[in-house]
Structure 1
Amino acid sequence: MSKEGLESLFPMEDISVMGMWELLPHLNKFRVRLKETIEGAILFRPHVVVTVDSKGFSFRLLKQLRARYGWQESNGPLHFHYVAPSFWAWKGGEARLKGLANFVDHILCILPNEEAVCKLNGLDATFVGHPVLEDIVEFNLGKQASPHDLKIEGNSEDFRRKYALSPGAAVISLLPGSRLQEVIRMLSIFSRAFDQLKDSIPELITVIHVASNQHVENYIDGVIHKWPVPAILIPGGHQHLKYDAFSASTIALCTSGTVAMELQLARLPCVVAYRAHILTEWYIQYKAKIPYISLPNILTDSAIIPEALFQACTPTNLASLLMKLMHNKRLQEEQIVAAENVIKLLFPSERIINLEEQMEWKFPNFTPSMIASSTILSHVKS
């Protein structure tokens, strides 16, 4: 959206907070931003309202817009929400879909099982594919994606040459998160884990991937001088450099999130970690109905990717998991094979075939964003 010229009313970092109790200090800011957004939408008088994830914010926005205008389906804007509520993750999760049809006209789903369940609960829905697949087109400069080339191969030699890495350097990619609160929490744990690894892995190099978040960038710049091993910082928004770094890495360590799917695209074996406020952790453990937190494990229903969660996310445990993965080729290969299947699950090949047959115009590629856009435009046209 930014590339197409849309400008945000406020920095997205203002509402980029995860957790239950972590939200409390930010509630007043959220109320202010929500009011600003509602007023902005009313002034703009859109034909279509598209909300993206952030359900707590987005659903309040859609409810209040519909209430403020009293819009009817015949003459009001259509409401689209991108990313279905994660009903599959929580006890009684399908109840979260009840009543959504009152203020959401269409759900754009990123997982293959979500469309059918949404429709069973009275919601129009379309499976558009996981947004991580956008990276394929951006990396390959417009090459059409297909189920046969759903992989990104960076240039390991270029990366090693660029940063003058020795042939014997052991490179681990580190992805600490995209939100400041999680980066502060996770980076200290990761630092102590690498402090334990530095004597066991000769020539250990950490490549730290920094999210495109000014608060995160400033924080990492301020603490990197204390990092226990040599580190290379990769700024956000540099797709080729990021995947070149993945290619040059043997394994990765990441905070749970979308980055786990980027590692799947690169076929880079990893360990997933997550800590939160103790009350948030308790709530998740009480309400969750699945034993995994990373999407590859959820989709395959197996612990193919090692996870260090909550109280188990300690420097010692992380160091042990990384050592084991670093020196076990069989475990690495198992993750690589599983990644092939996971990415294919997230690619809406049947949807693309249908679009190619039905569309009056052709797109250069059928990425999730293009499928989502065509779905919205088709509804508006009809």
Structure 2
Amino acid sequence: MTEKLFARPAKLKVAMVAGEASGDLLGAHLMDALKAAHPDIAFAGIGGPRMLARGFVSQVSQERLAVRGYVEVLSRLPELLRIRRRLRDTLLAEKPDVFIGIDAPDFNLQLEKWLKQAGIPTAHYVSPSVWAWRPERVVKIGESADQVLCLFPMEKPLYDAAGVNATFVGHPLAGEIAMQPDREAMRDQLGLPRDVPVFALLPGSRKSELDYMGGLYIETARLLLQQFPDAQFLVPLATRPTLDQFDRLLSEHKAWDLPIRKLIGHAQMAMIAADVVLVTSGTATLEVALTKRPMVISYKLSWLTYQLVKRKLKLPYVGLPNILAKRFVVPELLQHEATPAKLAAAVANLYQNTEARDEVISTFTELHRSLQQDSARLAAQAILKLAAC
């Protein structure tokens, strides 16, 4: 007998899959907007803590989907395929009114295709980076999704040209984050001195990212402390398991003496309080840009995964702020360039170079304005139209 996800009867049943922390945030905002427009609604699928707090029923923990890279996925592939088949069978039996795949295209697009073929309306929220690599995916995405919800303005024209329904909804974070965040007030709230260097270290929300970036950032902090003896470091971790993992890394690197404050969640608070942020490439880089903080972007993958990805890239940069600005606004140190010495030097340069910091803040303010839409409401309208509500 197939298990039931939608135990509570509702006029509108919405299935969703959010594969990682950034998707959980988008899903939570969308749930709020859908509830406001259609109160008798139930949500189920796979989601994270923010979605669960709003009544979402998750078939498995979101953590089980949070894996990156071609090579890294291989060891987890049987489990991921089992999770997807199990969810497919459940949703085909329960027939939700609409399915929304939030990012995680490798997991969601095939699931969307199965459900679409069964007559269930499907949406994909967050376009894959078709403007950066593999633009031919636009057509295949249209085969899976009845509607694509685009966060960035340059995406919709690509789908329009291929005859795929797409809506530019902007990024919810652009409406949530203040245009001029108050660094001093945030430091007061966190009990941090106003007159010392504060650096935020964001090694990533996934365990696999911490494997590559956690120790690297700890050693970078050690070097920065030599240059700035009164510096403080903020490290927000997405979940309790990643917090425990970071603690193990501190032990391995014998770094308990470093002035590091760990936070569970509260990444925005850490960004706003910081002078400079060291961040792993991904959605978090956009969040840093919206808080108007100078940043250094870094990333490391297995050698084979990096070689595969590098050949497919169409742009000279990987960080979202640089992609959206169409130039190197902030430095990117990737793969073999990502060493503690080079990262510490780049962070220190941004901290000490007032002119460079001012230029970054000005560019990020313009970027913020370009993404500021009533995103969750626009996305909810498109979803309700798709579900014929």
**The TM-score by the shorter chain falls in which range?**
0.7 to 0.9
**Helix, strand or coil at the partner of 2:316:** coil
Q: Say what the alpha-carbon RMSD is for the aligned residues.
A: 1.9
Aligned with 2:129 (options 86, 92, 97): 86
The CA deviation at 1:370 is 1.6
Match in the other structure for 2:113: 63
1:104-149 deviations in whole A, cap 9, x for unaligned? Answer: 211111110111110111100000112323533xxxxxxxxxxxxx
Say whether 1:233 aligns with 2:259: no
**Helix, strand or coil at the partner of 1:272:** strand
Match in the other structure for 1:146: none
Rounded to whole Å, the distance in 2 between the matches of 1:325 and 1:42 is 52
Match in the other structure for 2:249: 223
Match in the other structure for 2:20: none
Match in the other structure for 2:101: 51
**Helix, strand or coil at the partner of 1:98:** helix
Match in the other structure for 2:320: 295
Contact between 2:215 and 2:249, CA under 8 Å: does it hold in 1?
A: no
Contact between 1:299 and 1:342, CA under 8 Å: does it hold in 2?
A: yes
Mark the CA change 1:332 to 1:95 in structure 2 (over 3 Å): closer, same or farther: same
Match in the other structure for 1:177: 204
Match in the other structure for 2:7: none
Match in the other structure for 1:306: 331
Counterparts of residues 73-222 of structure 1 (less than 5 Å): 76-90=119-133, 93-133=134-174, 135-136=176-177, 151=179, 153-154=181-182, 156-157=184-185, 159-160=187-188, 162-163=190-191, 165-211=192-238, 213-222=239-248
Contact between 1:155 and 1:244, CA under 8 Å: does it hold in 2?
A: no
Contact between 1:48 and 1:78, CA under 8 Å: does it hold in 2?
A: yes
Task: Supply the AA of the counterpart residue of 2:234.
Answer: V
**Helix, strand or coil at the partner of 2:228:** coil
Rounded to whole Å, the distance in 2 between the matches of 1:105 and 1:193 is 45
Contact between 1:169 and 1:202, CA under 8 Å: does it hold in 2?
A: no
1:309-363 deviations in whole A, cap 9, x for unaligned? Answer: 1111111110111111111101111110110111122224xxxxxxxxxxxxxxx
Contact between 1:156 and 1:245, CA under 8 Å: does it hold in 2?
A: no
Aligned with 2:305 (options 280, 296, 313): 280
Extract structure 1 runs of 4+ deviating beyond 4 A. none
Rounded to whole Å, the distance in 2 between the matches of 1:332 and 1:245 is 18
Task: Supply the AA of the counterpart residue of 2:85.
Answer: K
Rounded to whole Å, the distance in 2 between the matches of 1:4 and 1:232 is 29
Say whether 1:370 aligns with 2:381: no
Mark the CA change 1:103 to 1:287 in structure 2 (over 3 Å): closer, same or farther: closer
Say whether 1:260 aligns with 2:285: yes
Rounded to whole Å, the distance in 2 between the matches of 1:275 and 1:310 is 5
The percent of aligned pairs where both chains have the same amino acid is: 29
Rounded to whole Å, the distance in 1 between the matches of 2:182 and 2:284 is 16
Contact between 2:126 and 2:151, CA under 8 Å: does it hold in 1?
A: yes
The CA deviation at 1:38 is 0.4
1:30-60 deviations in whole A, cap 9, x for unaligned? Answer: 1110111101211221111111111111111
Mark the CA change 1:82 to 1:247 in structure 2 (over 3 Å): closer, same or farther: closer
**Helix, strand or coil at the partner of 2:226:** coil
> Which moved further from structure 2: 124-133 or 217-226?
217-226
Normalised to the residue count of structure 2, the TM-score between the two structures is: 0.81
Match in the other structure for 1:247: 272
Rounded to whole Å, the distance in 2 between the matches of 1:167 and 1:287 is 44
Contact between 2:132 and 2:313, CA under 8 Å: does it hold in 1?
A: yes
Contact between 1:204 and 1:229, CA under 8 Å: does it hold in 2?
A: no
Mark the CA change 1:161 to 1:64 in structure 2 (over 3 Å): closer, same or farther: closer
Rounded to whole Å, the distance in 1 between the matches of 2:193 and 2:171 is 36
Rounded to whole Å, the distance in 2 between the matches of 1:346 and 1:134 is 8
The CA deviation at 1:103 is 3.0
Task: Supply the AA of the counterpart residue of 1:369.
Answer: A
The CA deviation at 1:26 is 0.4
**Helix, strand or coil at the partner of 1:199:** helix
Match in the other structure for 2:21: none
**Helix, strand or coil at the partner of 1:216:** helix
Q: Gaps spanning 5+ residues in structure 1: where?
A: 70-75, 137-149, 349-365
Task: Supply the AA of the counterpart residue of 2:56.
Answer: L
**Helix, strand or coil at the partner of 1:381:** coil
The CA deviation at 1:94 is 2.3
> How many residue pairs align between the two structures?
336
The CA deviation at 1:173 is 0.9
Rounded to whole Å, the distance in 2 between the matches of 1:322 and 1:158 is 21
Rounded to whole Å, the distance in 1 between the matches of 2:139 and 2:116 is 17
The CA deviation at 1:380 is 3.0
